[in-house]
Amino acid sequence: MTAPAPVDFGAFVRAAGARGRLVVQPRMGFSDPDRMREGLIATRAARAVTVGTLTLDSYTRVGEHQAAADALRDGIPLNGYPIVEHPAETTRRVLDGVWDPEFPVQVRHGSATPLRIFSTLVRLRLNATEGGPVSYCLPYGRTPLADSVRNWARSCELYAQLRDSGIEPHLETFGGCMLGQLCPPSQLVAISVLEAIFFHQHGIRSVSVSYAQQTNAEQDREAVTALRRLCRELLPTPDWHIVIYAYMGVYPTTPRGALRLLGEAAELAAATGSERLIVKTVAESMRIPTIAENVEALEHAYTTARQSPAVVADEPADSQTYAEAAALVHAVLDLHEDIGQALIAAFRRGYLDIPYCLHPDNRGRSRSYLDAEGRLRWASLGSLPLHGVVSTGRAQPVTSSGLLRDLMYLRRGFDEQGWLSRGGAAVPPASIGVR
């Protein structure tokens, strides 16, 4: 077994982007090492520019390491790869001859208590992962935000020590994916930028910023443009790129609908010059995808991006999304010079407030809705520092039936009608009955 040469994840993705090639990536994780290795080999062999993924299991994500160890001992399959509990030599065998400078691998986890995960990654010299103190805390449990901030600060500082061995660690923000759906794009952009600044403040120089596809293609392009502009203005490192996530809400159930929605995510990445795309498969609404379904999704997204129009120029004027995101980011940065303390204060004051998020540290006074064009709008602002920037323009409160209708908006459209992009926006037929 040969030790791999140092793999610079960020440099690999940015180099592909400079050649006009979108990097596509699955969200793949299996507890069985042989199957995990098979998945990585198939990802590498796909007809696309790819990077590999080790997605961790739910027990490891929430810090229940003994439960993961018990499952391995008893032969119970898990919903991901338990990297902390597998011996280091097992993981090295999984990666041997697959992970190299031509095929970087990222570890995806979802933990607000990630220190043991990061310690394992450092021991294995695996230098690409993702998450964040906000985005891997509020949606997924009840860990206090202050604890998550402290945990992530320690983990970043530990991860940064890889540079002492000549290895550049890379961290991707999950902030552009809060709750998967119904969070207005400006707040997704703001949290993604703030988490990237947090990473850099704690020693990470190579970062990527995320944005999850939402419900209106034109608004999504506006959001990614705003994200790129804010990164250029505020990130103190040139080593960054943008990663798009295929829609993370209620997914279409038909193969036609699922592939069309994934295709629009690829078109979004191509149109905005984004460098990487996390795909979803035709099986997302039903079960964990097979290796073959992941490869199909990778190849479909890559081919669609290659066939999409050339990268559009950045918008010269301030968009509504940029104005909102900039107001949120600067309001938070003004609270404290330590970005972690600023994030804690921001949620305490309601300067950041995630609609429909039930975490105790989220004030829960903001609300969002979809307008007739499928654009995400603010229904109520709570204490968000957007008064004067946003006009809510909504007389009626959000109802439970309206919320359910919004949650099912894209599934209905892509399964029943097979929406196509028309003039930059997914246009539903009037019979669907959205507002």
Q: Assign 3-state DSSP to the chain and report helix, strand, coil percentages, each to 5.
A: 45, 10, 45
Q: How far apart are CA 190 and CA 210, in angstroms?
A: 11
Q: How confident is the model at residue 370 (pLDDT cuts 50, 70, 90)?
A: confident
Statement: residue 6 has pLDDT above 80? no
pLDDT of residue 316: 54
Buried residues in 352-385 as b, exposed as e (16+ CB within 10 A)? bbbbbbebebbbeebbbbbeebbbbbbbbbebbb
Q: How confident is the model at residue 433 (pLDDT cuts 50, 70, 90)?
A: very low
Which tens digits make up the pLDDT trace of 94-122?
999 999 999 999 999 989 999 999 999 99
Q: What is the average pLDDT value for the chain, to the nearest integer? A: 89
Annotation: CATH topology of 9-306: TIM Barrel (3.20.20)
Q: How confident is the model at residue 5 (pLDDT cuts 50, 70, 90)?
A: low
**Within a 13 Å sphere around the CA of 97, how many CA atoms are in the beta-carbon half?**
5
Buried residues in 27-45 as b, exposed as e (16+ CB within 10 A)? bbbbbeeebbbebbebbbe
Greater confidence (89 vs 427) lies with 89
Q: How far apart are CA 213 and CA 190, in angstroms?
A: 15
Which tens digits make up the pLDDT trace of 40-93?
999 999 999 999 999 999 999 888 999 999 999 999 999 999 999 999 999 999
Backbone torsion region of residue 12, taken as left when φ is above 0, otherwise alpha when ψ lies between -120 and 50, otherwise beta:
alpha
Statement: residue 365 has pLDDT above 60? yes
Tally Cβ neighbours within 10 Å of residue 16: 18
217 close to 269: Cβ distance less than 8 angstroms: no
Greater confidence (344 vs 142) lies with 344
Tally Cβ neighbours within 10 Å of residue 229: 19
Q: How far apart are CA 180 and CA 376, in angstroms?
A: 13
pLDDT cut 90: percent of the chain above it: 74
Q: How far apart are CA 57 and CA 25, in angstroms?
A: 18
Statement: residue 154 has pLDDT above 90? yes
Which tens digits make up the pLDDT trace of 401-421?
777 777 766 677 676 765 544
DSSP conformation class of 126: -
Residue boundaries of the structural domains of the chain: 9-306
Q: How far apart are CA 266 and CA 376, in angstroms?
A: 20
Which tens digits make up the pLDDT trace of 346-363?
999 999 999 999 999 999
* Parallel/antiparallel/unpaired status of strands 52-55 and 105-108: parallel
Greater confidence (426 vs 380) lies with 380
Statement: residue 238 has pLDDT above 80? yes
Statement: residue 242 has pLDDT above 70? yes
> What is the pTM for the complete model shown?
0.92
pLDDT of residue 432: 30
Statement: residue 431 has pLDDT above 50? no
Taking alpha carbons only, the member of 181, 34, 41, 29 closest to residue 117 is 29
Q: How far is CA 329 from CA 147, 187, 321, 333, 372, in A?
A: 22, 9, 12, 6, 28
pLDDT of residue 1: 53
Mean pLDDT throughout 247-265? 84
Greater confidence (85 vs 372) lies with 85
Q: How confident is the model at residue 395 (pLDDT cuts 50, 70, 90)?
A: very low
Which tens digits make up the pLDDT trace of 284-342?
777 788 999 999 999 999 999 999 876 665 555 689 999 999 999 999 999 999 999 99
Greater confidence (197 vs 414) lies with 197
Greater confidence (2 vs 391) lies with 391
pLDDT of residue 412: 73
Angle formed at CA 61 by CA 162 and CA 410, multiple of 5 degrees? 110
Q: Report the chain's terminal Cα–Cα distance, integer Å.
A: 59
